[in-house]
Structure 1
């Protein structure tokens, strides 16, 4: 069932949501244009640096650095980097433990348990899921709904918005079933599966000059455009701009940059990132941010707006779009996901397959679907305390087992500014200028400065060449 609300098409929304949208968004001019930025697979310092080269130098119209969603698989993940990325304001979502498509419940639930136990991500904060290889089934969606996930983002929107039969729907609930991937997944659509209150955030494809015959979804910059035999960055930039413009001028349906960041890493052995490709992506984001009312957001932020839509003039009333930082004294020694606070406090977990750091104590074995939270076995004989439900990650001291913030007055400071017109001084950017032959724009700072916690380049850890080679092969096999 589809509802045409004002100038926007929504699928499967509650009647109450329809009333809200009618009341608050009477014109397309009231609707922001969202660019959803996501990454998939293992989290390491080099993958975060690859993401940061596109986002760290930018600002949304409210002065906040854009946030993104990292669909995390725990295999080959450095848990402390997950903690740091989450505390920095980004969304951590589920991508199974060992990167398997159409996953059994042990893969999905085990990932939840491991991310909570070893990265300190509150279970209540892990709201979303994306299936590896985008391979999922009706049973996958039912499992997610039963487990308590808020949304899935595995379905593809593969028909252009300029087509009258476009499936580029805004996020929708499954009260009336799925509306995407109808021909790709058995038992889908025609009112099924009915999962009241569970959301689907479609993944919106870009389209080259071939239209519906030329879709590009994940890592579109790695694809050859227009039926060519090789990648052409200029052609990619052209169709990315054209597809964005189609969304912007239609119903402002979101558009997405869905990445496997390892392909764009500048500091990972065996990966030769194309500098011009990186400049091209930044050039696209520079250009997009020059359009009025464009926001780069996480899946969680997009869904927060859809569930409680506000016109552009009231976006400062959407808490999820603000930038709140934890009020933790810089000189306080606490292993909490803030690099300056946790220095020297991380546990070093040495495993031949893939070593990692964590604030929460080393497990006696690598977490896996059969044993996602092994017993602790720290080299000094100590026991770290796992995050409780009643304390926020940046304020939990896993060494002492205490919460350092017991009242709202010590919690977070909102650093967002009043929303003004777009402009270089507000949105940042400029790092894509060199793609057009101009002088290079502002640079970005690698996440956590010197890349603390890196299992390859960090000063804290020396890893043999043989282990690095094994990790390279294993991680690349997941993509």
Structure 2
């Protein structure tokens, strides 16, 4: 087995290949050549690219959304990384914030995908093997494998983000043809305070793209026309240099203000300033777009600064002290854009509510307490994983995303989730849906919103950020109740290391 020191060397190089960074404006009004008739393009199925809130709402009536996303493989150490920022928080209605995980399948543990989805988070497509400008098979194969081995309904996988944010016009055309609801690969690269800002609210491609027009051939000036298909821009933060200082994914890894080293205090300052510009303006969403491994405290060979973890929590603490701020998934935010309601009506807006599936039986259903002893262990040499839905004969690939189940040792074939049953109520061993009526399914755990019940702010950690090595402000329970290392199957680290070498080799080759 290769030593941890080699793994520690490899991971930063891999991160450079997937950081999703931008260096300046990605569009201009001239390059966009965008026009849209708002009198004909009407919600919920059409929306013009606009910096103004949807349906003519005034900014004071609009919630400020912080969209939290993560990219790449799902493992216990990546879930723990997300949880250290979200698990202890509450939105104004008392619900724990949900997020979107753009999932690729190399090194993913499928049972954790199921668990994360059943806990209320969005699972979206990020290709099977993390390739930019992806072939159709990479996108479609990911859908098929997530459905077959993680039990995610096809109807629930509505979003896509391109690895490295590398996509083409044909990528978007295929997503629309495959009935995805949205893509979130473009960047909003000009501050909201600039008259030429490209920080548009999510919009449909009935009239083509208006973002990334300087970078991607074959888009903008009315192309591609994909009626009803949504683009959700990724909104950058900006340091003191303004348009010359954008920070998109994992901004805490970047040097601020042209400096030569990372400074958490400077990062916190520009994150607050950018948030304030959105909040005091037209309240376009703002995003924390993350690769969780960068802030994982349980991944061997990765050293994470407590100061950075504290800083991210301090930003969210501060943001949640402002009224009408919600930390949400892309799916939740887009649901509001499609059917926007003023703040006064958010109490009854179901996409922001939280509910718990009422299941007490021991079935393999994405609820960790229920599935003990019921998981299948698929011991593939490259990367083993667990699943509720039966091990395949061979590992899934883009050419064969749903291989036949392995019954070579007399195992019973398990039943995959059908379209007419919700994942937490499906027993894959018996092939039975244990609940088919609305009365037995979910318990609403939301609380009332408003000055006559509770205040309009969320709940943070109450800690304060100061640069240095202090402990994180938040405490959290690792996912599934165990530390990441204890929950990983034997043989996993050699597979990760070898896969990392291959991935880095492929990336370096692509740069030559």
TM-score, structure 1 normalization: 0.92
8 Å Cα contact 1:364-1:377 kept in structure 2 = yes
* In 2: Cα distance, 1:475 partner to 1:277 partner: 27
Aligned length: 465
Spell out, residue by residue over 1:82-126, the C-alpha distance to the aligned partner (whole angstroms, 9 max, x if none). Answer: 000000000000000000011111000000000000000000000
* In 2: Cα distance, 1:152 partner to 1:394 partner: 27
Alignment of 1:294-373 (within 5 A): 294-329=325-360, 332-373=361-402
Q: 1:475 to 1:61 in 2, by over 3 A?
A: farther
Shift of 1:478: 9.2
Shift of 1:310: 0.5
Residue 386, structure 1, aligned to residue 416, structure 2? yes
Q: Specify every segment of 5 or more residues in structure 1 that has no aligned partner in the other structure, as ranges.
A: 1-9
Alignment correspondent of 2:482: 450
Shift of 1:432: 4.8
Q: Which residue of 277, 282, 288 corresponds with 1:246?
A: 277
8 Å Cα contact 1:12-1:177 kept in structure 2 = no
What SS class does the counterpart of residue 70 from structure 2 fall into? strand
Residue 128, structure 1, aligned to residue 159, structure 2? yes
Alignment correspondent of 1:16: 42
8 Å Cα contact 1:127-1:149 kept in structure 2 = yes
* In 1: Cα distance, 2:502 partner to 2:304 partner: 18
RMSD value over aligned CA atoms?
A: 2.5
Q: 1:352 to 1:411 in 2, by over 3 A?
A: same
Q: Specify every segment of 5 or more residues in structure 2 that has no aligned partner in the other structure, as ranges.
A: 1-34, 508-512
Alignment correspondent of 2:406: 377
8 Å Cα contact 2:307-2:472 kept in structure 1 = no
8 Å Cα contact 1:128-1:149 kept in structure 2 = yes
Alignment correspondent of 2:207: 176
Alignment correspondent of 1:3: none
Q: Relative to structure 2, which stretch is displaced further, 114-123 or 465-474?
A: 465-474
Spell out, residue by residue over 1:431-458, the C-alpha distance to the aligned partner (whole angstroms, 9 max, x if none). Answer: 652537899644111122215xx5x421
* In 2: Cα distance, 1:296 partner to 1:335 partner: 30
8 Å Cα contact 2:65-2:328 kept in structure 1 = yes
Q: 1:202 to 1:464 in 2, by over 3 A?
A: closer
8 Å Cα contact 2:375-2:387 kept in structure 1 = yes
8 Å Cα contact 1:122-1:389 kept in structure 2 = yes
Alignment of 1:144-155 (within 5 A): 144-155=175-186
Shift of 1:409: 1.0
Alignment correspondent of 1:398: 428
Q: Relative to structure 2, which stretch is displaced further, 203-212 or 374-383?
A: 374-383
Q: Which residue of 407, 419, 422 corresponds with 2:449?
A: 419
Residue 164, structure 1, aligned to residue 195, structure 2? yes
Q: 1:58 to 1:380 in 2, by over 3 A?
A: farther
8 Å Cα contact 2:65-2:327 kept in structure 1 = yes
8 Å Cα contact 2:209-2:220 kept in structure 1 = yes
Q: Which residue of 296, 301, 306 corresponds with 1:265?
A: 296
Alignment correspondent of 1:143: 174
Shift of 1:324: 1.1
Shift of 1:472: 5.3
What SS class does the counterpart of residue 448 from structure 1 fall into? helix
Alignment correspondent of 1:428: 459
Shift of 1:477: 7.6
Spell out, residue by residue over 1:119-139, the C-alpha distance to the aligned partner (whole angstroms, 9 max, x if none). Answer: 000000000000000000100
What SS class does the counterpart of residue 309 from structure 2 fall into? helix
Spell out, residue by residue over 1:297-346, the C-alpha distance to the aligned partner (whole angstroms, 9 max, x if none). Answer: 000001000000000010122211000110111xx110000000001100
Shift of 1:273: 1.3
8 Å Cα contact 2:384-2:492 kept in structure 1 = no
Alignment correspondent of 2:69: 38
Spell out, residue by residue over 1:382-414, the C-alpha distance to the aligned partner (whole angstroms, 9 max, x if none). Answer: 111111010000000000011010211111111
The runs of at least 4 aligned residues of structure 1 exceeding 6 Å deviation read 10-13, 18-24, 422-426, 436-440, 475-479
TM-score, structure 2 normalization: 0.86
8 Å Cα contact 2:132-2:163 kept in structure 1 = yes
